Structure 1
Amino acid sequence: MALRAFRGEFLSLTCDPRDAGPDGERAIRYEADGLLVVEDGIVVARGHHADLSGRFAQVPTERLPGLVVPGFIDAHVHYPQMDSMAAHGEQLLDWLERHIFPAEMAFAERAHADALAQAFLTEMLRNGTTSALVFATVHEHSVDALFEAALARRMRVISGKVLMDEGPEGLRDSVASGRAGSEALLRRWRGRGRLGYALTPRFALTSSDAQLADAGAFLAEHPEVLLHTHLAENVHECAAVASRFPDAADYLDVYDRFGLVGPRSVFAHGIHLPDRSCARLHESGAGIAVCPSSNLFLGSGHFDFGQADRFGVKLGLGSDVGAGTTFSLLHTAGLAYQAALAREDRLSPFRALYLATLGSAQLLGIADKVGALEVGQEADFVVLDPAATPLLARRTQDAPLAQRLFALQVLGDDRAVARTYVLGGCAWERTA
């Protein structure tokens, strides 16, 4: 691919604003009139247009209307649950039994997995999400379907076969079949496109001690693999885990005893954690995918940003579809602000953007590839339209950057995504 340049208003974060002074300004990288130069899908230059235009005067340049940010990175989402969004009436454990397990049983049919994978990735791109850590199902081909679709779209997707040898009939594997399926998938997809593998025990209650121990062994044997599971999402779930593992210090300690807590571990939710767990997360390098939409929808509670920040816990942002009620990480960033405020913490719009981009990239171990539109990174980005709706247009007209970004997060959704670019190519464009 020849050199291509994009001119527009660029915004990204260089680190977590909580670590960049009282107002986080040192974390903000912003060019009101910037130039982004891309070669073979990789950023080769970025800066103010006035500084770079002479050097790249002969490069074809596309003007991008709106605010350009890195492609959103969903740190926790379930593609098989797409058709179970807005399922009424239950908290987590009953919701799983009533709505989710039956929906996942349909993935026994490969054609069903293929159709959902295509629809899911289209929805992701429509909402500006270009990378994701994705739950599949216990079926090996559920991962094949997702990876084939992602490979064709050149998206960065990490996923893995769900492990649950104590799951319901129809969604139950064994220690041996879980290991064999994970090994086969890793062999089949290792090094292909922008794909990565995640070892995926559903949560502590759906795997035997033997399967959790084998998962820890698998993780130790494969240093390129992530660990992706759920942690302390719901008070009833926490009580059930405490009952099953009475000798564990807390929920996180259950995973720790099986070798599942380390720098490659991504735990979704973490909203009911004692201080000991937060200290251990920081010490181990593990982190939390914060999922404010699903936490509210299932009545689980609000993530404690203040507690996490006191202990320096690594954080990213997840939509958690299908308990999550939106694919839009832009809107989910606004919900994160509201969840923080419910506990009297204030989340700046820049930190919310960080969580949806570089924060999630750091959590998933892909920050060298995506998340900040820096030189050497892959050119995934989103063009946001601050005038996408009449209300947004009124709220953002002549507003300073922070106010425009906050309005986009609180009032925006998929309608505010004008275009989504993957590796410098337009992968989705709003037509109306």
Structure 2
Amino acid sequence: MLDQLWTSIADAGRELVRGRLGSRRRATIQSLCRDLLSTKGEASGAALARELVEAYRMMTDEERQSFFTMLAQDYAADPTRILAAVEAYRQDPSPRSVQALRRACETPRHELFRRMNTAPGGTRAIVDLRRQLLAYLPDRPDLEPVDADLHDLLTGWFNPGFLTLTRIDWNSPASLLEKFLRYEKVHKMRALEDLKRRLAADRRCFAFFHPALPDEPLIFVEVALVTGMADRIQPLIDPEAPVGDPESADAAIFYSINNCLEGLRGVTLGNFLIKLVVADLAREFPDLKTYATLSPVPGFSAWLRQALADSGNKVIAAADRKLLAALDRPGWHREPETVEKLKGVLCRLCAHYLVREKRSGRPRDPVARFHLGNGARLERINWLGDVSAKGLEESFGLLVNYKYDTGQIERNHELYTNTGEVVISSAVKGLLPAQAG
């Protein structure tokens, strides 16, 4: 309905724009941007926004980079205007001066993106625009201010208060199930049999949707209803595994969380999703006692190999270095003697990595940052919890349980947010190696 409304407004506006400008067509993206920012009418603005969105979609890769360069250079905030507003505030620190300063600091491209959003399908176009911008950023740090504006806008537009929690099951539209198959990145599905098993009676899948993108899941979580806190992923995703009775389950295991749209990277969605799903499951299954994840440790292998390459690293003992050399041997995880020798060493080092290795005062591992920041407790490190090629490559098969204790979530979140404290169980604490020096 929203798309239909904006389409009709844009259609009416196109005639107004053509009537005002005659037969002249806008030949450049620059003129479209200028006209969109200067127009005051809703209909003509929607028509110009649609033209700009369509023009962007037709651009080559080189033209898009030029477009982003233009936004970075020509649509930044005016320093002279900012300084004048600062001086005015010094002279008169009134609410009116604060508002003037805020407006001076806002970049013209910020308003340009807002107006582009009035095009039919504008929100989808801007999310896709940011996806393409993110791909350029590693080589184009000069474009980071443009991304900052987009991130700011999308964070507001995709506020969890605007989102709808929906359960996905086997009766969901086929187009949605196809996207579910495609977007699953943590534990990829090979065929419909995999998908059907993950939507069976003892499984749940929930997703967030936005009214501007009603057919596009933003993020989804897969849950297994089981007995006891799961420590291995293969039984949970095996399409041949027998379907259990969800009514007899005492644990809900969150085993896969997937962000679907790259353009929303960094826009916080997952923490609200998990908390809402916990509340929903608690209503449906009041006998559930445990809510926990079975999570990957995607940065562990890279960190450990980097540490091994540093002969001065004191975290790894000399004797352990000799044992860890076995990790370079294909199939090491199928050698019982090697497995037994490596278990204690790798679990200790993983505990150190998750608890003590930091970046900007927060855990180095991205999955740990997410769950600990969300109020979970680092509960258990599971040996050979994922023996897939991906699991062995990322973390030598280790998986982690982060436990969501409904009575402690907010306390844990506050500790992590305010002090950076990582809340851990006694089992994980017992694994931590003694600190050198």
TM-score, normalisation: structure 2: 0.22
| Higher relative helix content | 2
The structure number with the bigger radius of gyration is: 2
| Higher relative strand content | 1
Specify which structure has the bigger relative contact order, considering alpha-carbon pairs within 8 angstroms and separated by 6 or more residues.
1
TM-score, normalisation: structure 1: 0.22
